[in-house]
Amino acid sequence: MNPKCAQSEQTPRAGRAEPFPSGRLTFLSPAPLPTGLPPVDHGHAVGEVNDNHLDFGTGVTSVFGWQANLGIPFFCFLFIAFFIPLIAFLMFYWLGDGWPDASHALRGVFDITFWIAVWGALFGFFMLSLPRWLAYGRLKNVIPTRFNRQRREVCFVPEGQKEPIFVPWEELVAWVTEAQGVTEYGVQRQYGFGIGFYHPATNEKYTLEFQTYGQFQAISNWEAIRAYMEYDVHTLKEIQDPLDLQGPDDLPW
């Protein structure tokens, strides 16, 4: 979190919209109200959730990401190690001298493709997992934004600082942005969600923002936080995307 210039010179309040040259900014708080959208953490930005606090900004990728990390190399292994020798077997059976040529081709091709599949699958798994391992390593040094619903306050630790800043929940500013621009590929739209506050001592403004893939998704991310602070939801499972490819008892990672 870094100090930035204020997005608005007017006093923000929930429901007020403010246009800017390439789009519009809509405030969701102070004095947050229910938005009518489901509380869903589409961006996987929420980390720990318990009866005392919610950590925002340290979420991990969905279980589908790990399924893809394992499933893609495993599928490639099966295809190279077994399917290609099977194709060679059928070709030599129909075009060659029958069973003797087919069985000889099967053994010969399998001896080659099996080790290619093993090393290829291991290399693919490593390359797919490396960005995740690096991301998890960076998470160890990230101090999350903590929403404490019992004390009705939000705790921030700005980047490069060690002293926390406590902001009353009712004074926190939240907004969604929608912007569009023209590129060589056509009109592109971007959406984002942000929270911010003025430092109680210096009156300097700090903001924390991230992109989302839609306006409703951005509002749902905020609704997940608001619902937690208002005791409408109590667990991480309640704010996870129900369309994610994971079972009801799967861990979030």
Looking at the fold, whether 177 and 75 belong to one and the same domain comes out as no
- 246 located within any domain: no
| 174-183 residue pLDDT tens | 999 888 877 7
253 is a domain residue:
no
Average predicted confidence (pLDDT) for the chain: 81
Identify whether residues 124 and 73 lie together within a single domain.
Answer: yes
Both 186 and 100 in a single domain? no
Averaged pLDDT, 24-52: 85
Q: Do 128 and 173 reside in the same domain of the chain?
A: no
pLDDT at 72 over 80: yes
Same domain, 49 and 156: yes
Q: Is the pLDDT of residue 8 over 60?
A: no
User: Are residues 119 and 154 located together in one domain of the fold?
Assistant: no
Choose between 67 and 70: higher pLDDT.
Answer: 70
- Structural domain contains residue 177: yes
pLDDT of 241 strictly over 90: no
Domains in the chain, number? 2
pLDDT grade for 148, boundaries at 50, 70 and 90: very high
Domain that holds residue 113: 64-139
In a domain, residue 244? The reply is: no
Q: Are residues 154 and 41 in the same domain?
A: yes
pLDDT at position 76: 92
| Span 44-55, average pLDDT | 87
In the listed set 122, 139, 156, which residue is the last one of a domain according to the structure?
Answer: 139
pLDDT above 60 for 56:
yes
Q: Report residue 75's pLDDT band, with 50, 70 and 90 as the boundaries.
A: very high
**For residue 81, pLDDT beyond 80:** yes
Query: Which of the listed ranges 160-164, 195-199, 241-245 does the model predict with the highest average pLDDT?
Result: 195-199
Same-domain check for residues 191 and 83:
no
Note whether residue 251 is domain-resident: no
* 226 and 156 within one domain: yes
Q: Return the pLDDT at 7.
A: 46
Domain co-membership, 35 together with 86? no
> Do residues 69 and 124 both lie within one domain?
yes
Long-range contacts of 113-121 (CB under 8 A, 24+ apart): 113/80, 113/81, 113/84, 113/85, 114/81, 116/80, 116/81, 117/76, 117/77, 117/78, 117/79, 117/80, 117/81, 118/77, 118/81, 120/73, 120/76, 120/77, 120/80, 121/73, 121/74, 121/76, 121/77
Mean pLDDT of 156-185: 84
Same domain for 158 and 77: no
Final residue of a structural domain among 106, 123, 139? 139
pLDDT (average), residues 196-204: 80
Given a cut of 90, whether residue 123 has pLDDT beyond it is yes
Q: Is residue 250 part of a domain?
A: no
With a cut of 60, say whether residue 228 has pLDDT above it: yes
